Structure 1
Amino acid sequence: MGLIEVLGASVTEPRAGLELYGRLVGAWDVNNRYRSLDSGEWTTGTAVWTFGWVLDGLAVQDVMWFTDRGADGYPVRRTGSTMRLYDPGAGLWHVVWFSPRGHTVTLTGRPGPDGGIEQEGRRLDGTPVRWTFEDVTAESFRWLGYTSPDDGTTWDLEQEMLARRRTAG
């Protein structure tokens, strides 16, 4: 049996506490807007963001494929993945995002206002980050990524993603 078969899990009804991220399971088409780390200019692109149950249905993992315009004008694809593991004793989620380029962010996830999700943590260089899921419905959500240059006093928006659930077919 291969890794994919043993990692993935079939969940028809999430266990208590797992609904926070479990409602995102499925595939989403995303319009992505982000600030370039090099130039500070805003760039747009698209992504396909797929969430699934893993580890016997006790965690939610995603894989995201971004498509941006390369320097030569042709599409460039990049990827990243996030693992979310629920801690029932603490009532929160341990969240780790990583990319093949060696970027890693460790966060804590919890319910946010109005049915959203709040995630806060730090990049490897110590920069505070705040990532939120807002306006979450069965068919769409808005994801916002912030960084703080002053250890959490102020927050700068660096990324916004608008997601719509992909329909079968």
Structure 2
Amino acid sequence: MAVELAAFGRFVGDWRVQNALYNESTRQWSESALLWTFDWIIAGRGIQDVLVDEAGTALGTTVRTWDERAGWRVVWFCPRAAEHVVLTAHDLGDRIELAGVQADGRPVKWIFSAILADRFTWDGWCSNDDGETWWHEQHMEAQRLTR
């Protein structure tokens, strides 16, 4: 189980994030700086993160738990935007791929890539046609601050 927990365990600590978010309605990208903090929960059987904006306001949280029968189960909550996403995750070594469904029923896929000890990239994709096509919704470049 230690190997499986390392998939997300390697992110434990604080990260400075350059965030780019696409607004589907306006078709515009906006940029912001965020703090992304990951930590162990449930006696080391899970990882929770919290995303915070520059003003110190929590934007949302993700809870990831390891289930020996099903693998990684992941849930993202953003009450301010009424977002709730349920996903599963697969560690592919140099990247982690997550697939799931938003509260509105649209499929999403999230990808952690270019993972190194001090940095990683995260991209979020959404589909409006049940996965036939995908549009890039969010891009984050993370740089480690602490372990």
CA contact (8 A) 1:53 1:61 kept: yes
- Determine what percentage of the aligned residue pairs are the same residue: 39
Question: Where does residue 56 of structure 1 map in the other structure?
Answer: 43
Task: Kindly indicate whether residue 88 of structure 2 is the aligned counterpart of residue 108 of structure 1.
Answer: yes
Query: In structure 1, how many angstroms separate the alpha carbons of the residues matched to 2:14 and 2:135?
Result: 28
Task: State the structure with more CA Rg.
Answer: 1
Q: TM-score by structure 1 length? A: 0.80
* CA gap 1:42/1:78 in 2 versus in 1, 3 angstroms: farther
TM superposition score normalised by structure 2: 0.92
Please point out which of 6, 10, 13 is paired with 1:26. 13
Aligned to 1:15: 2
* Structure-2 residue corresponding to 1:127: 106
**RCO greater where, 1 or 2, for CA within 8 Å and sep 6 or more?**
2
Whose strand proportion is higher, 1 or 2? 2
Provide the aligned C-alpha RMSD in A.
Answer: 1.8
Q: For the residues of structure 1 that align with 2:108 and 2:90, how far apart are their CA atoms?
A: 14
Q: How many residues align?
A: 146
- Could you list the structure 1 runs, at least 4 aligned residues long, displaced by more than 2 angstroms after superposition: 75-78
1:139 and 2:126 are equivalent in the alignment: no
Q: Note the residue ranges of structure 2 that are not aligned, 5 or more in a row.
A: none
Encode CA deviations 1:89-132: one digit per residue, 9 max, x unaligned: 23x200000012231100001113x5110001010110100000
Deviation at 1:66, TM superposition (A): 2.5
Structure 1 contact 25–50 (Cα < 8 Å) conserved:
yes
Offset at residue 149 of structure 1 (A): 1.6
- Residues 88 and 98 of structure 2 are in contact (CA less than 8 Å); yes or no, is this contact kept in structure 1? yes
Aligned-partner Cα distance in 2 for 1:45–1:100 = 19
